[in-house]
Structure formats: C-alpha cells, structure tokens
Copies of this chain bind each other. A is one copy, B any other.
C-alpha cells in the first residue's frame, strides 16, 4: 500500500481501551472515533458546518448509494468525496456489502460477486470485489472497505461459513486489485479488511485469522449489531479482536448505542459508525445524558427545559423541548435539524469524553459514571426505539 498516506498511532491506553489518532490525506482524526453516516454525501438534516461544530472529524459515505447517484465518476471528476460534499476532512466509504444484505430480495449472491437491482430504478447492476475497490478508489475516501458478505441474522452455520470463505476470497481479490491500482495511479485511499462469521465462535476465529493474514491498513469487525443479542455481540467482538494487530485501527461497523460503544472501547475498538443518532432524531427521539428522550411525546408539550439538561450544544442552549416537539408535530424540517444536531453533538461529546478518560486512565470510572445516569434515565423512559 505504498500510495497510501495513512498512519495510525496509539498515544495512551487504559487496560484494553486505546487512545490514538489516524492521519489521512484529508487530515487527522482522533480515536476512539464515531463517524456520522452521510449516506448520499450528507448526514441527513445536517450541514458540514454542523458536523464540524459538533466535533466530528471523519464521516462515512455509503458506496452503494454514491455509486448509484451521483456515480463515482462524477465525484471523482469533482475532486473526490471530501471535496464534493464540502467536508474537506477525512472520509470513509463502506463496502456496499451491508446495503446488499439489507436489500437481499433485490440481490443474488454467487462466489464471484453480487447481482442486484437498483432500489432507485430497478436497473440490474453487479458488484465484484474488484469493482467495489475501483468504485471506492474513484470516490476517493481516505479509508475504503474490502467487499464482504454480511449474512443475515440468524444464519445457519453453513451459510455463515460460506459467507466467511467468500469474504476471505473477496478480500484477497479486492486487495490485489487495490495494489494494481496503487501501482498504476496515485491512490490516497487506504483499504481495510472486514471480519465476518455471524455468531459462531469458530467462524469468527477463522475469519479473523484469514483477514489478518492479509496486509490491510486496518481491520473491521462486521456482521454485528444486525439483530443478535448484546451478549452475543460482545462475545463475538471479544473473540475476534484478540486476533487483530494492535498497531492498526480496529473498526466495529454499524455500532451503536452509547452502552455498546463503551463495551467495545473497553476491548480496544478505535472506530464506530451508526445511523442511530440521526435516524432516531428524525422519528422523534434524541439521546441525552439521562437516557433516550422521545421528544415527540405529549409530556414534552409544555416542557421549557432543553432536550438534555447537561448539554452545552447550541440547540440545548437555545430551544425548549416544547418548541422542538411543536415543530416536529407540525412536520417542520427545523425540528429534524435541531434533533439531529443535538444527538450528533451528544455522540461526539461522548467520544471526546471517552478519549479524555483513557488519557487519564479513568475509562472504567467514566463508563460507570456515565452509564449509571444514562441507563437510569433509559429505564424510566419508554423511549428507546
């Protein structure tokens, strides 16, 4: 990966929790990092200014969506994803594997790749491991992901095993294509591998060993937070992460709730992404220090308090629950903006506080303090959706 400008270093640790930073062609991001999800090039209902204000340092774009619209060629022509979306900071694109898993009725998987129909116009398309790398290199994200097969949950062991073998085969093919591209043109994207294996210990171990045998710039654990129990998620993560090299970033894909992030950081995960903060905001729920708050509910109708009593974000400094609830019920876009902003800020503040706690060797104490208040609120809320 000679063309890559990627570097990762660990500055502090607290038991297995790690505090580091990753340097990319578009700048540095601090870890553990939470990446807001900008599916089509924008985090829904937010601007790049908003994301900067919230403290986000890296955002994710979805390869599947960007490939369909506006197409990787246009984004390449306009200077790559970071420039296109006015972000100008680090970006990561996913592999498209999860979207194909989500759209399984529109896709047919074989050993060579996946044929699927566009959810936009029904046109037939095909992803192979090579093609997915080519698309992502054209999109120009700083971190790109190997094409994987994320099996649905629950999966019988035989399906999960096929998924693991395909994921390894596709990882090798994608890496080969990536190296060819690096030899031919300037590639600023760094390629990460993905461990699969559903909830089967033997398969997670096998997949981790296989993927780590390949020289990726970082390693992700995929196929979790797809419906399995929190115990199974933790067990699989704890198992897989033992095999991941400690000098490269570890990314737990699609996770998650604050409690999941604390759990995963405690095992040494460095990167996260999840649609929860913004998706839930658009359906009337925000994350707060005292647990999830369903601000669309009637008990917020005359509540003059901010969304989160312990938050210093610009939404909490200015607007009441009553106001945001009113706007939400009137289907005002402004409600979605305000709620998305707060929850995005909440997640970024959480990561800042986690990073600071690791630096002070106080991660475990911070986790206990935070979750005691958060989960107490969660218990009395009907809010977690």
A-side residues, CB < 8 A to B, are 40-49, 65, 69-70, 74, 77-79, 84-86, 301-302, 304, 314, 318-320, 322-323, 326-327, 329-330, 332-338
Contact = CB atoms under 8 A, between A and B. Distances in A.
A314 B49 contact: yes
23 contacts: A40-B332, A41-B326, A41-B327, A42-B335, A43-B334, A44-B333, A44-B334, A45-B333, A45-B334, A46-B334, A48-B318, A49-B318, A70-B322, A70-B326, A74-B322, A77-B302, A78-B302, A78-B322, A84-B323, A86-B318, A86-B323, A333-B333, A337-B337
Contacts of A337: 45, 47, 333, 337
A214 to B, nearest CB: 34
B334 A42 contact: yes
Nearest to A326: B70
A318 B86 CA distance: 5
Contacts of A314: 49
A70 B334 CA distance: 16
Nearest 10 pairs of A and B residues by beta carbon: A42-B334, A86-B318, A45-B333, A86-B319, A70-B326, A40-B330, A42-B332, A42-B327, A84-B323, A78-B322
Given A320-B78, A326-B40, A47 B84 contact: no
- Number of copies of chain A assembled together: 2
A326 B69 contact: yes
A326 B323 CA distance: 31
A135 B14 CA distance: 60
